[in-house]
Amino acid sequence: MNTQTAHEFLTRCFHPGETIALLLRRESPASTTQRIVTLEQAIAPRYLAWLRYENHSGANVYIAANPLRSGSRKRTKDCIAEVRHLYLDIDVDGDNRIAALMKSETVPTPTVILSTSPDKYQVLWRVEGFGFDQQENTLKSLAIAFGGDSACTDRNRVLRVPGFRNCKYDPAHLVTVEYPNDSIYRPEDFRLDGASLNAALLPYGLARTYPTNKNTHSEQDWAWAVQQLSLGEDAGKLTLTLASRRSDKPNPLYYAQRTIDIASARLSLIEGAPIEDVIAMLEDRRSAELPGSFCASRAREIATTAQRMVARHKFASIHHPKENHNATA
């Protein structure tokens, strides 16, 4: 453990006099302790020594990514003073995803990269000029584009503090830090609109989810999705189930969302639903998970993709009835 590393991280992330939230979380027995302190209190030698002692005895050490309002006693969304950081939690295929992020033209170079455990990272961008809703929408877009944890999009999210150990592992893993850039970024530096977001996903091979009449894993997923949706199963639950089954994908959640949504859009169109109704259904379904502008363009793209699939199926039924029967039997 290295409290000097923690000291440098905290002073880089927060201004003198700001109120911040520290969280200590133990795995066994499960317990959580939160402390609301000023930056000066947190970086005092005695306080850092106490954090080191707690960490040595099994407590994981976290910090809220954004400062709190002065006088706050809790770490609720209402207590957040301003947006200080954007962040991305990458816990699958981390090395490859960090490499893709660093090469991407849709986002600037991160301010901070934390190595939280082998092949797992937390990425931060120091920002200004973001509103709260704008921050959370951007966090959702970042998670989609680079395969991050879609649950880590709240403005009161906590992140690990470098210099302390990640006690979820045996032996515990020391959390380390890199500072690739000292810049402070603004909203216009993150080009994550619908078109750019789809472009960012292309290297992952996620932009297409079509049946190709081959017995691949994706084809099996497609057949399963169509069957389950035909039986009336909930699309949200099916998405989570499929994502958990396809952890081999670079972005399992995006893959699952797209597979389920194309399948359900196709079924709705076959049943006679107008395409505008299908677009509205898809947009409503993902509105809580995806940023607004991307959610709308995505819904229309998926509905038109499903519409083309239905048209191709009708064409094949007319011109190649025997082949089509064999393919769908």
* DSSP-derived secondary structure for 23-35: EEEETTTTEEEEE
Q: What is the pTM of this model?
A: 0.67
pLDDT at 204: 44
* pLDDT greater than 90 at residue 186: yes
Provide mean pLDDT across the span 234-243. 91
Provide mean pLDDT across the span 56-61. 95
Q: Which of 3-17, 20-34, 167-181, 284-298 has the lowest mean pLDDT?
A: 284-298
Torsion, CA 241, CA 247, CA 249, CA 253, rounded to 10: 40
Provide mean pLDDT across the span 178-192. 93
C-alpha–C-alpha distance, residues 282 and 292, integer Å: 12
pLDDT at 325: 43
C-alpha–C-alpha distance, residues 98 and 168, integer Å: 22
Query: φ and ψ at 30, to 5 degrees?
Result: -65, 125
70 pLDDT tier (thresholds 50, 70, 90): very high
pLDDT at 214: 54
* pLDDT greater than 50 at residue 327: no
Question: Which residues make Cβ contacts (< 8 Å) with residue 22, sequence separation at least 6?
Answer: 34, 35, 37, 42, 51, 61, 62, 63, 64, 161
Provide mean pLDDT across the span 221-250. 88
Instruction: State the average pLDDT for the chain.
Output: 85
